[in-house]
Structure 1
Amino acid sequence: MEKNEQVELYKAIKLTGFKVEQELNNWIKDQINHTKFVQGTNIAGKYYVHVMKCVQNSMGHLFSNLNIPSKQDVTNIGKLVLQVEEKIDKVEDQVLLLQQKVEGLENG
């Protein structure tokens, strides 16, 4: 096969693939745009949310009984650590300011 023929073959394959992709996308859009599909997805989504809340609740009880921190516990600890770091920074700034004032009194 000559190089020119290969280029034409690749162009034809690319064009065919593009057309097939467009047709497939249009078919998927047509299938998704039905009211029953949207309603079914809505119901399934609500059921999924309910199931996930039940699972999280059960895992919370399990972790509590096993004395293992839950994801929420770890999140709360992270927030507390950030608050403590901020307070330490403020205290550190106040200590430095006081130290500068003391040095100013000693020198002045």
Structure 2
Amino acid sequence: MSATFKSIKSLQPLLDRVLVQRFKAETKTATGIFLPSSATQSPLPEATVIAVGPGAPNKEGVVNPVSVKVGDRVLLPGWGGSPIKVGEEEYHLFKDAEILAKINE
């Protein structure tokens, strides 16, 4: 089940949620060969952070900020996340703890 919205700017993640957009799989190789859809069906584990929540409070009530910021490239698990559709684009909401790594270049 996925939610559908008119504008991505209308979404502000709450608590320790992170809104990401997965990278799209290449449909053509560098040499120009088109790949069949069966070769590009699984989602890529990399994504770009679109928006972040302020963080979640710990047991003492102190808010722990999320570990990524808008524009970061991250590594995601192959499962999880809540899909959100905006027009033809698909985004996913993950908890900060579900993100596996931040990709530094």
TM-score bracket relative to the smaller structure: under 0.3
Greater RCO, CA 8 A, separation 6+: 2
Q: Which has the larger Rg?
A: 1
> TM-score of the superposition, structure 2-length normalised?
0.16
Q: Which structure carries more strand by proportion?
A: 2
Q: Which structure carries more helix by proportion?
A: 1
> TM-score of the superposition, structure 1-length normalised?
0.16
